[in-house]
Amino acid sequence: MDGRQHRFCLLLLALATATLAKRADSDPVCLPSQFESFDDGTISTDRYTLYASGACQQSPLEVGGKLVMAASYGCAGGGSQDLLLNKTNYRICGDYDIRVDFELTSFDVPATGYRVAGLEVDRWTDGVVVSVMSLLATQPSSCRIGGLAYEGYTQNGCSVPEAPTIDASGSLRITRVGSLGQMYYRSASGEWVEIHEGTVTTDDVTLAVLAGSNGVPDVGQEVHFDNLIISQPVLDVGPEVASTFRVAPNPAIGNIRFVLPPSRASWDLQAFDVSGRQVWHRTAPGSTTVLWGSEGLGDRSAAGVYLVRARSGGTTLYRRVGATLELIAVGGSGRDQVPWRTWLRPSSSSRSKSARRVLLRARSWSGSRMKRRPDSVA
């Protein structure tokens, strides 16, 4: 290799290295599932960034197997301590389940202003808040019940859901499945209690574990965090139980069958569309089969993708379901009664030949007993 070729190869290598570095800066990798117990005395700077702002605020530290966020006494005003996901290197992609344990070592209700500690999920691109699950200590006002309370929201304001508490320790949780975001706290009995759910449209997010105050006479406080879990997908039970929650067919053309795992309590089934709106709800005993689209006249849902949530006791399971056709339950009564069936009503005014053929097959199956709806295909 002569000198000219050698210099050319070095130039190519430099360009490739610069390209990879630029790609790494502009496109951080999706964070795999993580468990952080804060018991090794150090915090990974590759994964997290520590932040403190305001007078008397101390940078978060790992002490005694806890993440300690403290502010010294003697300063008025506010500030915060944060454990931030290093967004230069990582982002949280798709569905997620984020949990953390907390202990309020010093967290009194201030005479003015407020104290806050909890989880915050922000949009990765610009830091806009996506969802929050936290504890708030403040005086009563037109927007807050006052005292110590859990609060969870996807949009801040006077309508933020709150739950008064005296808990000095517990757990906080934020989940996302599709466009459905949910916030929880763990009750004294050990069960997760949902405080709010709302529509989440952001794909890639980042995370903050935080403690702070604003407008208080003395910023002094101390909060400990532990057992930070960032997992995908959302799952409340072991895979051996979750795998017994089956959906068939999926995607569906017609009835959708749900096979539920054994449970001592009844299952509560809900289906949500992509906007987070509930479109279907049923209650069923444990270890049973439930049909969606076969319960009776008027049970209908548009074609699309749905999130189905099954809850029983402290167990919550999720499944995505695709319905490729509009589901319309039709039937008769008395001698003319026929089994409930779902059949096609094209949403488009231009009715395709394939749509006609599907409809004709449905009619030929039920013969003259099939009741014709006024809005059916001619």
- pLDDT tens column, 264-316: 677 888 887 766 678 888 888 766 777 776 543 334 456 677 778 787 766 77
The alpha carbon torsion through 230, 232, 237, 242 (nearest 10 deg) reads 180
Verify that 195 and 273 share a domain, yes or no. no
Predicted pLDDT of residue 218: 95
Report yes or no on 128 lying in a domain: yes
Report yes or no on 154 lying in a domain: yes
Verify that 38 and 182 share a domain, yes or no. yes
Query: Average pLDDT of the chain?
Result: 74
Share of the chain above pLDDT 70, in %: 67
Domain count, the chain: 3
Residue 93 has pLDDT above 50, yes or no: yes
Report yes or no on 48 lying in a domain: yes
| Of residues 311 and 212, more confidently modeled | 212
Report yes or no on 314 lying in a domain: yes
Average pLDDT over residues 206-225: 96
Residue 362 has pLDDT above 70, yes or no: no
Which of 292, 307, 323 is the last residue before a domain boundary? Answer: 323
Domain hosting 347: range is: 327-369
What are the backbone angles phi and psi of residue 13, rounded to the nearest 5°? -65, -40
Predicted pLDDT of residue 286: 65
Which of 231, 249, 267 is the last residue before a domain boundary? Answer: 231
Predicted pLDDT of residue 159: 76
Verify that 161 and 283 share a domain, yes or no. no
Quickly state the pLDDT bin for 128 (edges 50, 70, 90). very high
Average pLDDT over residues 133-158: 91
Verify that 76 and 217 share a domain, yes or no. yes
Read off the pLDDT of residues 177-202 as tens digits, 9 standing for 90 and up.
Answer: 888 889 999 887 788 899 998 888 77
pTM score, two decimals?
Answer: 0.59
Query: How far is it, in rounded angstroms, from Cα 367 to Cα 361?
Result: 10
316 in helix, strand or coil? Answer: strand
DSSP-derived letter for residue 273 is -
Report yes or no on 87 lying in a domain: yes
Sign of the dihedral through C-alpha 215, 218, 223, 228: positive
DSSP-derived letter for residue 346 is -
Verify that 90 and 132 share a domain, yes or no. yes
Verify that 222 and 345 share a domain, yes or no. no
Verify that 54 and 156 share a domain, yes or no. yes
Hey, how many other C-beta atoms are within 10 angstroms of the C-beta on 364?
9
Report yes or no on 4 lying in a domain: no
C-beta of residue 101 within 8 angstroms of C-beta of residue 227: yes
Verify that 186 and 267 share a domain, yes or no. no
Verify that 104 and 220 share a domain, yes or no. yes
Average pLDDT over residues 349-369: 35
CATH of the domain at 196: 2.60.120.200
Residue 349 has pLDDT above 90, yes or no: no
CATH of the domain at 316: 2.60.40.3080
Which residues make beta-bridge pairs with 104? 223
Strands (E), 200-292: 204-216, 221-231, 246-248, 256-259, 267-272, 278-284, 289-292
Which of 168, 197, 231 is the last residue before a domain boundary? Answer: 231
| Of residues 102 and 354, more confidently modeled | 102
